[in-house]
């Protein structure tokens, strides 16, 4: 009986959370596309979110390209298909691994930063002070961050894909000798726009989900300093989960287009 009540309470809490996030998203669309526009704050947040994430994304992408290529080589050699290594690695990176891993990195770095930043502003009553002074804190704090995250994540994905392919090129040359031109000729002969475009499109949704959930958790933070930590932690966990859910939906939609 107690277990059933606990499960019902958890389900009800989850449904309330989904509903609140949905209303939060509707408020973003309602206020985000009406003047005045905070372009200076959007640019500032784009620098914080995009530029300051370049090093982490770049290093991770480079290692990802190296590891994937090194791990894939023995299997392809066993089947006598080592020449297919550039094609296989490039398709795997561009279609799936690059966007998802980059989104997860950003969920951890950017989502936690936004959640903690807005959470600390909420518990120290800075957001309340903005409301009293006549400023719209939602437009200034939330809209700018969600928009910046949505715009910056696709750029980070493109950068990660490029660096990962270069890492794959170096890994191919560890036990072989493939020229730069030959490697990338094989890569671009294999890749199609149907591989690139879906991965870029879904990265916009990844960025929107990360920004939305990070802002929601921070903007609605409670319980003092403990609430700030909970907001940052919840932002990372829920946004990471949303990345996988959105990726699953995107894969299903892409498969439907392939069948057509």
Domain boundaries, the chain: 38-259
Residue 18 and residue 120 in contact, taking contact as beta carbons nearer than 8 Å: no
DSSP line for 2-53: HHHHHHHHHHHHHHHHHHHHHHHHHHHHHHHTSSS--HHHHHHHHHHHTGGG
Residue 259's pLDDT is 62
Dump pLDDT digits (tens) for 147-159. 999 999 999 999 9
Average pLDDT, integer, range 136-150: 90
- The helix, strand and coil proportions of the chain, stated in percent and rounded to the nearest 5, come to 90, 0, 10
pLDDT at 6 over 50: no
CA distance 112 to 222: 16
Instruction: Kindly report the length of the chain.
Output: 260
Q: What is the pLDDT of residues 66-123, one digit of tens each?
A: 998 888 888 877 777 777 888 888 888 998 889 999 999 999 999 899 988 988 888 8
Mean per-residue pLDDT over the chain, rounded: 85
Of residues 2 and 180, more confidence is placed in 180
């Amino acid at each position: 009986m107690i277990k059933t009540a606990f499960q019902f309470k958890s389900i009800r809490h989850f449904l309330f959370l989904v509903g609140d996030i949905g209303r939060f998203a509707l408020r973003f669309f309602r206020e985000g596309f009406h003047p005045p526009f905070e372009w200076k704050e959007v640019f500032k947040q784009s620098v914080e979110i995009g530029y300051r994430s370049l090093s982490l994304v770049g290093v991770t992408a480079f290692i990802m390209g190296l590891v994937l290529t090194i791990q894939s080589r023995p299997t392809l050699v066993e089947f006598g298909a080592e020449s297919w290594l550039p094609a296989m690695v490039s398709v795997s990176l561009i279609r799936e691994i690059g966007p998802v891993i980059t989104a997860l990195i950003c969920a951890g770095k950017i989502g936690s930063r936004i959640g903690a930043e807005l959470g600390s502003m909420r518990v120290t009553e800075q957001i309340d002070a903005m409301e009293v002074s006549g400023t719209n804190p939602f437009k200034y704090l939330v809209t700018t961050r969600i928009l910046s995250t949505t715009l910056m994540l696709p750029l980070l994905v493109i950068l990660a894909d490029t660096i990962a392919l270069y890492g794959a090129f170096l890994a191919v040359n560890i036990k072989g000798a493939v020229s730069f031109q030959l490697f990338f000729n094989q890569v671009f002969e294999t890749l199609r726009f149907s591989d690139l475009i879906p991965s870029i499109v879904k990265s916009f949704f990844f960025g929107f989900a990360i920004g939305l959930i990070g802002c929601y958790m921070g903007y609605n933070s409670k319980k003092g300093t403990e609430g700030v930590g909970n907001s940052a932690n919840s932002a990372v966990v829920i946004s990471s989960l949303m990345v996988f859910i959105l990726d699953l939906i995107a894969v299903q939609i892409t498969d439907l287009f392939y069948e057509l």
